[in-house]
Structure 1
Amino acid sequence: MRRRDVIIHLGGAAAAWSLAARAQERPRIPKIGIIIPRSALAAIDNVTAFEDGLRQHGYIEGQSIAIVWHYADGNYDLLAAVVDEMLSAGATLLVVGGTTPAAIVNRATSVTPIVFVGVTDPIGAGVAQSLARPGGNATGLATAHEEAYARKSVELLKEALPWASHIALLYNVANPFNVNFLREAERVAPSLRVRIDPFEARTAQELDNAISAISGKRPHAVIVATDPFLAGRVKEIVTATTQHRLPAMFGFREYPLAGGLMSYGANLPDMYRRAAMHVDRILKGAKPADLPIELPTKFETVINLKTAKALGIEMPPSLLVRADEVIE
């Protein structure tokens, strides 16, 4: 079993790092605790990209750096305790993905350096004072505001389906940025002549209920907000939308790769790869307070043409030409 596939629980960090230290003869290597908001399976591309980034900067897990991974799978109740365990075990630096997890980790320590990935509005989330000079112990990579994602998602879906006037929106009501996503989608909807019908899902049972309710309402299409809990259930959501013949727009490319219709969003693996650079700079003496927060350099539109054909949808050539990836 690969080290990254081990999910730590309370009491696990010290043991894992102790084993890593005994496995090599240089005990004074940096110790990094990494909190991934999704499941190990759902996050594999992001984790692989981060590991590649570390190798590019000369870090080899178990040799020049010790790492303990924690996969939250969208459940954040134990994160504060997990952070405490990592800090007690001597973490040199913490890496955390996602807005809510980053806020929890940032509240847990004001001393240990933090590198965050994929945080929406770091200032609003309370993890930085400004993008140019974060000012505290945290820096990293931010995504665009949820409002921008929502607006673009509705616009692209409407372009793909000009006849669509009723769009269901699946979101996690416990995620405040999903709530902002919903508000912006509802705000822009009238100008595009569509109606947004929201459906909440923050647990597996609520997701089942939401899917059943959506199929009963028979909307013309579905938008799934970007959320770790929902992203961890890619296969389930894609299967449901396909079975009910619902064209769906997502925020991660994993969805169209799994058979969903299309997605728009930041390239998360690229962001995780770049996060390794922040880790390297901090380990070499840079202060998070002085390292500017980066914004995405890659936004991508991915379209699954096979799914479009199966749904009887003829995608506009103008949209296909602009897409970053078309799955045929």
Structure 2
Amino acid sequence: MAGGDEATAPWIFAAFRQRLAELGYVEGQSIALEVRWAGGRAERYPELATELIGLKPEVLVASNSTAAIAAKKATQTIPIVVVAADPVGLGLVESLARPGGNVTGLSFFNEEMIAKRLQLLKELMPGLARIAVMKNPTVSVHATFWRTAEVAARTLGVVLQSLEVGRPEDFEPAFAAATGGDAQALIVFDDVLTIVHRPRIIALAAAHRLPAVYGLREFPKDGGLMSFGASFADLFRRAATYVDKILKGTKPANLPVEQPTTFELVINRKTASALGLAVPPILLAQADEVIE
């Protein structure tokens, strides 16, 4: 398995390993897991993919879109199970129903997910007119996220401001640009960079008094305002099921890519209070978890 950062281990591996155990696998006996982390450096994925392939695994698991692309480029024969944003758009599979090659797995993106993040901000701040969007120009799927956000923004009557962040040193200038552009709130498109640097992003959002919505529950758990996205615990449980099917002889080409079915909203009420925001009861009722 190739992953982004050790800090993501709890929510990736707990569910993945638990499901493997439920399926009868005993780590160290009936199954061996070789794990490699990129440490927030996306440029390391090709090297890590090559290293893992050299171990001659029966299945390779890629835990994000960038890792999936590197794995696909590195081998066209070893089965690959991906958890990626847009497997078709990224060229990983021919179609969701018929992957057609050595890659299958799960998508964690749909258009409603991005639109919902804008809608949540609008419900929290009814007078909201301008939202900054942090995206990484080196992550191809963020262009898809952006186009989806633009459609949703027109429907909601808000204006988007693009903040391009591709390196750690881009964070401070991006937040300065957001406040300088009169942004009233922030949406962060998650990737390896933002996950690794989430304490810094959360601190900058607080310092600039920008209510922010993220895709991963780790952000509000670490002090961010709220998150909405696919349940990664559910996705990685399902990824383990794909591994099981492949080990039992099913070809990746015959395993349709599944889309997310479980979404979760997490709200940090303490952070909302610090920003002077009262979370409407309707939002609290929708939340899967409220952090007081």
Whether the TM-score (by the shorter chain) exceeds 0.5 is yes
Q: Which amino acid aligns with 1:98?
A: N
Partner of 2:289: 325
Number of corresponding residues: 292
Q: Within 1, Cα distance between the matches of 2:176 and 2:10?
A: 29
Q: TM-score, normalised by structure 2?
A: 0.94
Aligned ranges 1:35-50 → 2 under 5 Å:
35-36=2-3, 38-50=4-16
Q: Which residue among 26, 32, 36 is the counterpart of 1:66?
A: 32
Q: Within 1, Cα distance between the matches of 2:168 and 2:28?
A: 36
Deviation at 1:219, TM superposition (A): 1.8
Q: Which residue among 56, 79, 85 is the counterpart of 2:22?
A: 56
Runs of 4+ in 1 over 3 A off after TM superposition: 215-218
Deviation at 1:238, TM superposition (A): 1.0
Aligned ranges 1:1-328 → 2 under 5 Å:
34-36=1-3, 38-117=4-83, 119-145=84-110, 147-328=111-292
**Is the CA contact (8 Å cut-off) linking 2:46 and 2:71 kept in structure 1?**
yes
Question: Which ranges in structure 2 are unaligned for 5 or more consecutive residues?
Answer: none
- Secondary structure, aligned partner of 1:124: coil
- Point out the more displaced range, 313-322 or 41-50: 41-50
Which string of whole-angstrom CA distances, capped at 9 and with x for unpartnered residues, describes residues 213-272 of structure 1?
A: 334444211111122211221111111111222111111111111111111100012211
Deviation at 1:154, TM superposition (A): 0.9
Q: CA RMSD in A?
A: 1.6
- Secondary structure, aligned partner of 2:206: helix
Deviation at 1:111, TM superposition (A): 0.6
Deviation at 1:293, TM superposition (A): 1.4
- Point out the more displaced range, 300-309 or 57-66: 57-66
Which string of whole-angstrom CA distances, capped at 9 and with x for unpartnered residues, describes residues 1-31 of structure 1?
A: xxxxxxxxxxxxxxxxxxxxxxxxxxxxxxx
Aligned CA distance change for structure 1 residues 191 and 297 (closer, same or farther; 3 Å):
closer
Q: Which amino acid aligns with 1:268?
A: F
**Is the CA contact (8 Å cut-off) linking 1:39 and 1:72 kept in structure 2?**
yes
Question: Which ranges in structure 1 are unaligned for 5 or more consecutive residues?
Answer: 1-33
Q: Within 1, Cα distance between the matches of 2:259 and 2:209?
A: 35
Bigger relative contact order, structure 1 or 2, given CA contacts below 8 A and separation 6+? 2
Q: TM-score, normalised by structure 1?
A: 0.84
- Secondary structure, aligned partner of 2:8: coil
Q: Within 1, Cα distance between the matches of 2:43 and 2:213?
A: 29
Deviation at 1:156, TM superposition (A): 1.3
- Secondary structure, aligned partner of 1:77: helix
Q: Which amino acid aligns with 2:149?
A: A
- Determine what percentage of the aligned residue pairs are the same residue: 42
Deviation at 1:324, TM superposition (A): 1.8
- Secondary structure, aligned partner of 2:200: helix
Q: Within 2, Cα distance between the matches of 1:309 and 1:260?
A: 12
**Is the CA contact (8 Å cut-off) linking 2:231 and 2:264 kept in structure 1?**
yes
Q: Within 2, Cα distance between the matches of 1:121 and 1:225?
A: 14
Deviation at 1:82, TM superposition (A): 2.1
Q: Which amino acid aligns with 1:49?
A: A
Indicate the structure (1 or 2) with the bigger Cα radius of gyration.
Answer: 1
